[in-house]
Amino acid sequence: MRRLLLPLAVILSLLVSCQQEPAGHSEQARPEVKRGGVYRAPLPWSPRTLDPSLSTDIYAVTLIQQIFDGLVQFDQNLNVVPALATSWTVSRDKLTYTFTLREGVRFHNGRLVTAEDFVYSFTRILNPKEESSALNFFQRVKGAAAYRNGESNEVTGLRALDARTFQVTIDEPYAPFLSVLSMISSKVVPKEEVEQWGKEFGHHPVGTGPFRLESWEGNRVVLTANNDY
> Would you list the DSSP string of 33-81?
P--S-------SS--S---TTT---GGGHHHHHHH---SEEE-TTS-EE
SS3 176: coil
Under 8 Å between Cβ of 85 and 100: yes
- The pLDDT, as a whole number, for residue 27 is 52
CA-CA distance, 58 to 38, in Å (whole number)? 23
Residue 4 lies in a domain: no
Residue 169 pLDDT exceeds 60: yes
- The parent domain of residue 104 ranges over 58-225
**Higher local confidence (pLDDT), 82 or 23:** 82
Residue 204 lies in a domain: yes
Radius of gyration of the chain (CA): 25
What global pTM score does this model have? 0.82
Residue 176 lies in a domain: yes
Residue 34 lies in a domain: no
What phi, psi does 193 have (nearest 5°)? -75, -40
Residue 39 lies in a domain: no
Residue 112 lies in a domain: yes
- The pLDDT, as a whole number, for residue 193 is 97
Residue 29: pLDDT band with limits 50, 70, 90? low
Residue 98 lies in a domain: yes
- CATH code of residue 182: 3.90.76.10
User: How many independent structural domains does the chain possess?
Assistant: 1
Residue 38 lies in a domain: no
Under 8 Å between Cβ of 70 and 190: no
- The pLDDT, as a whole number, for residue 13 is 39
**Higher local confidence (pLDDT), 32 or 186:** 186
Among the listed residues 113, 112, 114, 86, the one whose alpha carbon sits nearest the alpha carbon of residue 100: 86
DSSP state of 98: E
- Looking at 13-27, 31-45, 209-223, which range is the least confident one? 13-27
CB atoms closer than 10 angstroms to residue 65: 18
